[in-house]
Amino acid sequence: MEKILVLDFGGQYNQLIARRVRECNVYSEVLSYKTDIDKIRQGGYSGIILTGGPASVFDDDAPRYDRELFELGLPVLGICYGAHLMAYMLGGSVSKAAIGEYGNVQLQIDDELSLLYKDIPSSTPCWMSHANSIAEAPAGFKVTSHTSDCKIASMENTSDKLYAVQYHPEVVHTPLGTEILRNFIYNVCGCKGDWIIASFVDEKVKELKQKVAGKKVLCALSGGVDSSVAALLMHKAAGDNLTCIFVDHGLLRKNEAEEVKAAFAGKFGINLVAVDASERFFSKLAGVTDPEQKRKIIGEEFIRVFEEEAKKIGTVDFLVQGTIYPDVIESGLGDAALIKSHHNVGGLPEHVDFKEIIEPLRDLFKDEVRKAGIELGLPHHMVARQPFPGPGLGVRIIGEVTPDKADILRDADAIFREELAKAGEDSKLSQYFAVLTNMRSVGVMGDERTYNYAVALRAVTTTDFMTADFGRIPYSVLEVVSSRIVNEVKSVNRVVYDITTKPPATIEFE
């Protein structure tokens, strides 16, 4: 299989570069700049992309790489910091610009014969974000484009197959950026494009079949995209030797448990142990108001229930985990690692007898997991599911969690989701949900004075879930949602819309 290496210098777009490469149907891997050169030499790569990064090449502690990297005979494309590094290491010069260049500018292509710019118009918008820039190209390099403030926006040394761009081809603000990356991957690296999800699914099933033949496999199914796709892949390989355990902690969204059962036990015919453990969770949560403690209780109880059910099955050979590629990268390979470990509820069960963990999705990005899900016949609404925290509605009920409150929230949340879908607003948002605030206030319904809960609506747009903006939902839609919630959901007499960004707030409202 063809592979492109994305060598990570701590840039915030490292994963985006890797995803773009895969969108061009070529497999990519992200490795830290600390990776040993021998590993790169033996990695079977067709080319290397050096990412951007926050450092300045002349800082003493700047992340650098051995000059040998440029002498492997492999094509290299440096992006932003990666471009500076190439210039600096190969004898050119980099300087700090008087004014940095940020945002959209017009790229003027000076060399239309450049392989990088095949079929790209001579003037095209690109996204810049830099304080430093290449002042002088190293010997043997030719400048191939500029902008009004940047005289070397790209350069290349075709005989050594070294390319550098100051702008960011990976972001959407460079509209032809993917085409430019594709030109590098296909025209310079000579790739043909053999990374296709359908073949990944076929290959993976084949590989898993060999590995698990005749052995027992256990999978914790949450109904989320990752565990669902992992379970389906595994089912293709292990058939009836796979058992999935689905724990309903009573804090799922409306109809979610039924949908999971109907799809997995029904449509797919998977051995599914569905446990309604809601009472256990509610009794453990009684009287608890601290959000962290609620998370801890739910996480631990989840593991206990899972262990008890697993025990009934006996010793299994393999335990399936829905780990995906961003989890692998984030766990410390690169400097761009943005740690979200606090979101991992529960961890691994300690009292389940299994011999080995299998992570069938550990090479896939989320969008690829979704594509694999479609390939495997997972219903669209399950593939397109928005992120849902492991502790479920438990983190969206402020204060004590009770069965009544969970019912109120489920109903309000279902109305919000339904109306957003009806208005076609759902696809514009990254995540949206209702929250049951612990606040009660006075209202009037008919001739009656009420003293009921306020429901908060939360909707955000985000690309990475690290920062987020609140969704600009039209008032007309909010109006319908508000009116339906106060009319149809008991114990709610007020609806508010959360207009806080992250930071300072978080996406969840707990």
Of 105 and 288, which has the nearer Cβ to ligand XMP?
Answer: 288
Q: What share of the chain is helix, strand, coil (3-state, %, to 5)?
A: 35, 25, 40
CB of 364 vs ligand XMP, minimal distance in Å: 17
507 binds ligand XMP (CB under 6 A): yes
d(CA 265, CA 359): 22
Q: By CB under 6 A, which span of 354-362, 385-393, 401-409, 469-477 interacts with ligand XMP?
A: 385-393
Q: Is 112 a catalytic residue?
A: no
Place of tokens 């707030």: 505
Place of tokens 């896939």: 364
Out of 78, 390, 394, 471, the only residue in the binding site for ligand XMP (CB under 6 A) is 390
491 binds ligand XMP (CB under 6 A): no
Q: Of 45, 32, 31, 106, nearest to 74 (Cα)?
A: 45
343 binds ligand XMP (CB under 6 A): yes
Of 140 and 299, which has the nearer Cβ to ligand XMP?
Answer: 299
389 binds ligand XMP (CB under 6 A): yes
Out of 10, 78, 391, 394, the only residue in the binding site for ligand XMP (CB under 6 A) is 391
Out of 35, 178, 423, 465, the only residue in the binding site for ligand XMP (CB under 6 A) is 465
CB of 51 vs ligand XMP, minimal distance in Å: 23
CA distances from 488 to 95, 240, 426 (A): 64, 43, 21
CB of 273 vs ligand XMP, minimal distance in Å: 22
CB of 351 vs ligand XMP, minimal distance in Å: 22
CB of 337 vs ligand XMP, minimal distance in Å: 16
Active-site residue identified among 168, 189, 219, 259: 168
392 binds ligand XMP (CB under 6 A): no
Of 294 and 371, which has the nearer Cβ to ligand XMP?
Answer: 294
Q: By CB under 6 A, which span of 27-35, 188-196, 485-493, 499-507 interacts with ligand XMP?
A: 499-507
Q: By CB under 6 A, which span of 20-28, 203-211, 387-395, 451-459 interacts with ligand XMP?
A: 387-395
Q: How far apart are the first and last CA of the chain?
A: 45
DSSP 191-235: ------HHHHHHHHHHHHHHHHTT--EEEE--SSHHHHHHHHHHH
Q: By CB under 6 A, which span of 45-53, 169-177, 236-244, 500-508 interacts with ligand XMP?
A: 500-508
Q: What part of residues 431-450 is at the interface with ligand XMP (CB under 6 A)?
A: 431
322 binds ligand XMP (CB under 6 A): no
Out of 85, 134, 345, 434, the only residue in the binding site for ligand XMP (CB under 6 A) is 345
CB-CB contact of 219 with 246 (8 Å): no
CB of 65 vs ligand XMP, minimal distance in Å: 33
d(CA 296, CA 339): 19
327 binds ligand XMP (CB under 6 A): no
Q: By CB under 6 A, which span of 137-145, 320-328, 376-384, 389-397 interacts with ligand XMP?
A: 389-397
Of 146 and 502, which has the nearer Cβ to ligand XMP?
Answer: 502
Place of tokens 């109306």: 419
Q: Is 170 a catalytic residue?
A: yes
DSSP 151-175: S-SEEEETTTTEEEESS-TTSTTST
Place of tokens 């650098």: 64
Q: Which two tokens stand for residue 348?
A: 């691994």
Active-site residue identified among 2, 29, 101, 170: 170
Alpha helical stretches, state H, 217-331: 225-238, 256-261, 278-285, 291-313, 325-330
Binding mask 256-285 for ligand XMP (x = CB under 6 A): ------------------------------
506 binds ligand XMP (CB under 6 A): yes
325-346 burial, b if ≥16 CB within 10 A, otherwise e? bbbbbbeebbbbeeeeeeeebb
User: Which residues, 6 or more positions from 97, have their beta carbon under 8 angstroms from its beta carbon?
Assistant: 130, 131, 132, 133, 149, 150
Q: Is 24 a catalytic residue?
A: no
- Cα–chain-centroid distance for residue 216? 30
103, exposed or middle or buried, with CB in 10 Å at 0-12, 13-18, 19+? Answer: exposed
d(CA 267, CA 260): 10
Q: By CB under 6 A, which span of 38-46, 235-243, 386-394, 417-425 interacts with ligand XMP?
A: 386-394
Taking the CB of residue 213, how many other CB atoms lie within 10 A of it? 10
Of 179 and 508, which has the nearer Cβ to ligand XMP?
Answer: 508
Q: Which residues are catalytic?
A: 80, 168, 170
Residues binding ligand XMP (CB under 6 A)? 343, 345, 387, 389-391, 431, 465, 502, 506-508
